[in-house]
Structure 1
Amino acid sequence: MKNGFDKFDEKVTSLVEKGNELHDNQKYAEALEQYQKAWQALPEPKSESELANWISACIYSAYFDLADYVEAKKWGETTLRTRGSDIDTAPLIDLGMVCYELNQYDEAYKYFNDAYNYGKERAFQDRPKKYLEFYLRKRA
């Protein structure tokens, strides 16, 4: 049985990696097609798969880069639900960013605050400075 799972894992991983290549080349819609295929391939309940967090984070990122913030928020919420550890602040920052872009500032602050409580300013590392600046301004 383990071999079947490994083959399945390989197939899904291959789809995501292909999507990541397309994403890196700014072909976001094509990347989304690969990510969606990977998501559809997950067994139910999808959220319990070890790959669910990775795939949903990729889908979130592609929608965010397309500036489709409503869809990005849905996938950001999935990423938060499927994260492996409470100290993984990336889904919180992602949701804060998308809420900020949707002008949902109170919700953005809540997510940023949760991330800040775990990782302080380090949680905002490699993210545009405007998000940390917003958080610190609103916090003051």
Structure 2
Amino acid sequence: MELDDKIYDKIVELCEEGDNLTEEDRFHDAIDKYNAALDLVPSPKRDWEAGTWIYTALGDAYFIIENYKKAKECFFDALNCPDGVNNPLILLRLGESLFECGEHNKAEEYLLKAYMLEGYNIFKDEDEKYFGLIKERI
């Protein structure tokens, strides 16, 4: 399925604005832009590739502002979008969000999946505690 060109262009524009706001550390404003973009995606949103990258961007923004519950919800949504289950970044951030929510068993599952797809490299810029959760299992 393809989105209408005008809708797609507006979604991309809003996401680019969100990305720019993220670079300026204006995460709440970025979240507003990403949500506006998500509102343009037809339902069910998990059927669209745009849903994958918008939910991922939202999850990242929520993770950075330490709203781990919302981050977790966004990453679960992204996981259920096209190619979400094969996206190591989604798996990593979902695992990290679960870790921060105290759900260590579930966190371990997703962190292991991220590791299986990307190896240690995906953890190199992350807090050691996340890799520490899985290093005994690998």
TM-score, normalising length from structure 1? 0.88
Provide the C-alpha distance between the structure 2 equivalents of 1:83 and 1:127, rounded to a whole number of angstroms. Answer: 25
Within a 5 Å distance, the mapping from 1:1-140 to structure 2 comes to 5-84=4-83, 86-137=85-136, 139=137
CA spacing shift, 1:86–1:44, aligned 2, 3 Å: closer
CA spacing shift, 1:44–1:26, aligned 2, 3 Å: same
Identity of aligned residues (%): 26
Q: Report deviation, 1:5.
A: 1.5
TM-score, normalising length from structure 2? 0.89
Q: Report deviation, 1:99.
A: 0.9
CA spacing shift, 1:72–1:86, aligned 2, 3 Å: closer
Provide the C-alpha distance between the structure 1 equivalents of 2:42 and 2:85, rounded to a whole number of angstroms. Answer: 24
Maintained 8 Å contact 2:78/2:84: no
Instruction: Output one character per residue of 1:70-91: Cα deviation in whole Å (capped at 9) or x when no partner.
Output: 1110001011111426432111
CA spacing shift, 1:83–1:124, aligned 2, 3 Å: farther
Deviates more, 1:29-38 or 1:40-49: 40-49
Provide the C-alpha distance between the structure 2 equivalents of 1:92 and 1:133, rounded to a whole number of angstroms. Answer: 16
CA spacing shift, 1:84–1:8, aligned 2, 3 Å: same
Q: Report deviation, 1:127.
A: 2.7
CA spacing shift, 1:91–1:85, aligned 2, 3 Å: closer
Provide the C-alpha distance between the structure 1 equivalents of 2:124 and 2:80, rounded to a whole number of angstroms. Answer: 22
Larger Rg over CA atoms:
1
Deviates more, 1:68-77 or 1:42-51: 42-51
* Amino acid in structure 2 at the alignment position of 1:6: D
* Amino acid in structure 2 at the alignment position of 1:65: I
Structure 2: which 5+ runs fail to align?
none
Say which SS state the counterpart of residue 32 (structure 1) adopts. Answer: helix
* Amino acid in structure 2 at the alignment position of 1:111: Y
Structure 1: which 5+ runs fail to align?
none
Provide the C-alpha distance between the structure 1 equivalents of 2:86 and 2:94, rounded to a whole number of angstroms. Answer: 15
Instruction: Output one character per residue of 1:104-131: Cα deviation in whole Å (capped at 9) or x when no partner.
Output: 1111111111222233213424433331
